[in-house]
Amino acid sequence: MSELLADGMLAGLDEIAGTGRDARRGGYSRHVWQAAELELRAWFVERAGRIGLDIETDRNGNIWAWWGTPGPDAVVTGSHLDSVPGGGAYDGPLGVVSALDAIARLQAAGFTPSRPCAILVFAEEEGSRFGIACLGSRLMTGALGADRARALVDADGVTLAEAAVRAGLDPAHLGTDREALERIGLFVELHVEQGRGLIELGQPVAVASSILAHGRWRLTVTGRGNHAGATLMADRRDPMVAAARAVLAVQDAASARPGTRATVGRMNIVPGGTNVIASSVQAWLDARAETDEETRALLGEITALVDEAVAENGCSVAVVEESWAGSVHFDPELRDRFSAALGGVPALPTGAGHDAGVLAASVPSAMLFVRNPTGISHSPEEFATADDCVAGVEALEKLLRTLL
């Protein structure tokens, strides 16, 4: 390993490998503005300082590290440091450490940029704490309103406004950040692949072509709480049973529509006692498809099936949309230009959401994917080999060299 690399990306991943480990779930739980994520932010600031970058935190809690004078028309690269509960080591951090290393490599080669350049670390990409994914980029672009954001509540009842204060932000200043957007001439996010595309192609790196439309809905199934021993089976209105049938309906609806995906990965049983028939159950649905129309059609089918399943169990259900992201098609001209600059790497679609997808509606955006040999993500099994991580950072360095 070269001196540079020893002090670069692989070392960076190594340095944060102990932060935010989740002993109960496995993997990492790094949630926005909580201890582990704050530790990673401090690590990033220190690391960026070491290569002479100037730090700014914007009104929405996204961190910028500038190489040279800030914007306009800057080439910006980065990702996020937060994770899903029990997530992998690469989703997010790989893009951040690769950005640091790509700039360090250019500096070591004596390269002088002719346009501004920055690393951007987004806040709450996963939505694991406040429920809405890509929160930092949605706030920046105005895709999420500040009033709605301020009122979001985490699992401990802390509002986003309160959490922002504790993180040193002024919640009154949250919201659309035109100044920040005007600084971005182009955004590139390097990310571990979250599927099997590169495994199947036998290649280490790709550019992104598109992102599925996706949304999140909260289903509240209401029944009648009662005693587990004293209530005859025929006398029950058990929302847990209704919710279980609703989950099967979700699976049936998505399985019947090729290419669509629907998941219930989180539930809250109220009150949640072994000897208590629940009074209500909240379940969160994540549904995705290639087009907005197909995703909406899938949701329509799911809600019809869920209504039926819930009514059969004497319960009722209320469905609330918590977030929505239309399908994204990355600028084909930029994608092809990047692919060619990297020697003709393939272009791949993804089912995962990204800040680059949110930014794509406002500024030219692109993504690089690095092969994940397990094909698994949002899990401790997510992986990228050292060689592929190096191929990723070399690709990013090459792009920055041509753009700067």
Is 378 annotated in a binding site? The answer is yes
Residue (71 or 127) nearer to Mn ion, CB: 127
Which span sits near Mn ion by CB under 5 A: 286-294, 307-315, 351-359, 362-370?
351-359
Q: Can you say whether the dihedral through the CA atoms of 73, 77, 82, 83 is positive or negative?
A: positive
> Which of ligand GLV, Mn ion, none has residue 12 at its interface (CB below 5 to 8 Å by kind)?
none
Q: Is 126 annotated as a binding residue?
A: yes
Q: Residue 353, interface with ligand GLV (CB under 6 A)?
A: yes
Is 173 annotated for ligand binding?
no
Binder of residue 183, out of Mn ion, ligand GLV, none (CB less than 5 to 8 A by kind): none
**H helix or E strand, kind and range, residue 393:** helix 386-403
* Pick 18 or 265: Cβ nearer ligand GLV: 265
Amino acid at 81: L
Ligand-binding site membership of 31 (annotated): no
92 binds, among ligand GLV, Mn ion, none (CB under 5 to 8 A by kind): Mn ion
**Contact flag: residue 355 with Mn ion (CB under 5 A):** no
| Cα angle for residues 247, 218, 20 (degrees, 5° grid) | 95
Closest contact distance (angstroms) between CB of 378 and ligand GLV is 7
Under 8 Å between Cβ of 131 and 152: yes
Q: Which does 245 bind (CB under 5 to 8 A by kind): Mn ion, ligand GLV, none?
A: none
357 is a contact residue toward Mn ion (CB under 5 A): no
Residue least distant from ligand GLV (Cβ) = 353
Q: Does position 301 bind ligand GLV by CB under 6 A?
A: no
Cβ within 8 Å of residue 179, ≥6 positions away = none
Cα separation, 299 vs 17, in Å, equals 38
SS3 content of the chain, % helix, strand, coil (to 5): 35, 25, 40
In the complex, what is the shortest distance from the CB of residue 87 to Mn ion, in angstroms, rounded to a whole number? 7
Compute the least distance from the CB of residue 84 to ligand GLV, in Å.
7
Is 288 marked within a binding site?
A: yes
Q: Is 352 a residue that touches ligand GLV (CB under 6 A)?
A: yes
Binding residue for Mn ion, selected from 37, 82, 91, 382, defined by CB under 5 A: 91
Chain centroid to Cα 388, Å, comes to 21
Nearest C-alpha neighbor of 150 from the set 175, 126, 176: 175
| 133 vs 186, beta carbon nearer ligand GLV | 133
Indicate the pairing of strand 184-192 with strand 74-80.
parallel
| Residue from 10, 156, 25 nearest 87 by CA | 25
Instruction: Return d(Cα 106, Cα 67) in angstroms, integer.
Output: 11
Three-state SS at 51: coil
Q: Which CB atom, from 58 or from 91, has the smaller least distance to Mn ion?
A: 91
- Token pair recorded at residue 137: 């980029």
Stretch that binds Mn ion, among 12-20, 111-119, 137-145, 352-360 (CB under 5 A): 352-360
Give me the least distance between CB of 87 and ligand GLV, in Å please.
9
Q: What is the DSSP string of 229-271?
A: TTS-GGG---HHHHHHHHHHHHHHHHHTSTT-EEEEEEEEEES
Label residues 124-141 b or e (16+ Cβ within 10 Å = b): bbbbbbbbbbbbbbbbbb
- Choose one: 17-25, 236-244, 293-301, 346-354; the region binding Mn ion (CB under 5 A): 346-354
Among 124, 126, 294, 301, binds ligand GLV (CB under 6 A): 126
Please say which residue, 88 or 171, places its beta carbon nearer to ligand GLV.
88
Site for Mn ion contains 92 (CB under 5 A): yes
Query: Distances in Å between the alpha carbon of 283 and those of 247, 286, 324, 382?
Result: 9, 10, 17, 25
Residue 57 C-beta: closest distance to ligand GLV, Å: 22
The footprint of ligand GLV on this chain (CB under 6 A) covers a number of residues equal to 4
- Three-state DSSP at 173 gives helix
Give the single-character DSSP code of 87: B
| Among the listed residues 48, 100, 133, 241, the single contact to ligand GLV using CB under 6 A | 133
Q: Known binding site for Zn(2+): residues?
A: 80, 91, 126, 191, 378
| Contacting positions for ligand GLV (CB under 6 A) | 126, 133, 352-353
| Contacting positions for Mn ion (CB under 5 A) | 91-92, 352-354
Q: Known binding site for allantoate: residues?
A: 216, 275, 288
Q: Known binding site: residues?
A: 80, 91, 126, 191, 216, 275, 288, 378
